[in-house]
Amino acid sequence: MPDIATRSPVAVRNPARFGATRGLESLPPAARFILRGGNAVRAAAGQAAGIELPVQSCRAITAGERAALWLGPDEWLLIAPESAGASLAVSLAGALAALPHSLVDVSHRQVACELRYPEAPLLLAAGCPLDLDESAFPVGMCTRTVLAKAEVVLWRTSARAFRLEVARSFVAYVSQFLAEAARASDLD
C-alpha cells in the first residue's frame, strides 16, 4: 500500500495562462507548524526556531528560509524548509516541554503558491473581500481570509507578490479561479 503521507509538489493548474513574468507558481514543499500559546511560549519557540515570532497582529517575520506568521493573539504559523522539519519539531518540543502550548505539524495539510504579477492585488480582489491596496495591506502583512470559496492564508511578500497557503485539496480550485479572473479581466 502506498504511503499517503509522502509529499510531492502539487501542480498549479493553467500556469501558462499567466505567462513567465506574471504568474502563479507552486512553491516547494515546506515544514509547517501551528503554534498556540502565551508570551512565554512565543519567546521560547522563537529561540528554539531561530526566528522571532511576531507580536504585531497580521504580520510576518522572516529569517533566512524560515518565517513566522501571526494568525491570532496566541497563534502563529511557522514555516521552514522541508528538510528542517524534523529537527525543528524536536527543538520546539524540547523548548516548550514545560509550558502549556499546542504545536501541530500541518505540513501535509497545505501547500504554498506565489502569485507574482503587477496586477496581483486586482486578480486577488476578484475573490477576496480584503482591501489589498498597499496602503491597507502592506508588504509583510498576512491574514487568514477567503479567496472565492477557499480559505487561505494570504501574505504579501512584495508590492506585487503574495504567498498563498492553501489546503492541498483546494490548490487546483484556487489556481483555476485566478486563471479565470485573469481571463475575465483581460489580464491573460
For 91-127, the pLDDT digits (tens) are: 999 999 999 999 999 999 999 999 998 889 999 999 9
pLDDT of residue 186: 75
Residue 47's contacts (CB-CB under 8 Å, 6 or more residues apart) are: 95
Give the pLDDT of residue 146.
98
According to the model, what pLDDT value does residue 96 have?
A: 98
pLDDT exceeds 80 at position 141: yes
Mean pLDDT computed over 64-80: 97
Given a contact cutoff of 8 angstroms between Cβ atoms, the answer to whether 162 and 124 are in contact is yes
Q: In whole angstroms, what is the distance from residue 117 CA to residue 12 CA?
A: 16
Write the DSSP assignment of 154-177 as a string of letters: EEEEETTEEEEEEEGGGHHHHHHH
CA distance 147 to 163: 13
Sorting pLDDT into bands at 50, 70 and 90, what band is 188? low
At the fourth CATH level, which superfamily is domain 12-29+108-188? Answer: Probable tRNA modification gtpase trme; domain 1 (3.30.1360.120)
Task: CATH 3.30.1360.120 in the chain: give the residue spans.
Answer: 12-29+108-188
Question: Using 50, 70 and 90 to split pLDDT, how confident is the model at 187?
Answer: low
Residue 20 has pLDDT above 70, yes or no: no
The residues of the chain that CATH labels 3.30.70.1520 are 30-106
3-state secondary structure of 65: coil
How large is the average pLDDT for residues 180-186?
84
pLDDT > 70? residue 5: no
Pick the CATH number of 30-106 from 3.30.70.1520, 3.40.50.20, 2.70.98.40, 2.40.10.480: 3.30.70.1520
Q: What pTM was computed for the model?
A: 0.87
Longest CA–CA separation in the chain, Å: 56
At residue 10 the predicted structure's pLDDT band, cuts being 50, 70 and 90, is very low
Position 13 scores a pLDDT of 45
3-state secondary structure of 13: coil
Would you state the cell numbers that stand for residue 32, as one nine-digit string? 509547517
| Other beta carbons within 10 Å of 175 | 25
Mean pLDDT, the chain, rounded, equals: 89
Closest CA to 101 of 12, 28, 33: 33
Quote the CA–CA distance of 111 and 31 in Å, as a whole number. Answer: 10
Lowest mean pLDDT among 21-30, 53-62, 154-163: 21-30
**Strands of the sheet with 110-116, listed across from one edge:** 23-26, 110-116, 161-167, 150-158, 142-147
Q: Is the pLDDT assigned to residue 50 strictly greater than 80?
A: yes
**Residues facing residue 167 across a β-bridge:** 110
Cβ(52)–Cβ(39) under 8 Å?
A: no
Pick left, alpha or beta for residue 155 (phi over 0 → left; psi -120 to 50 → alpha; otherwise beta). Answer: beta
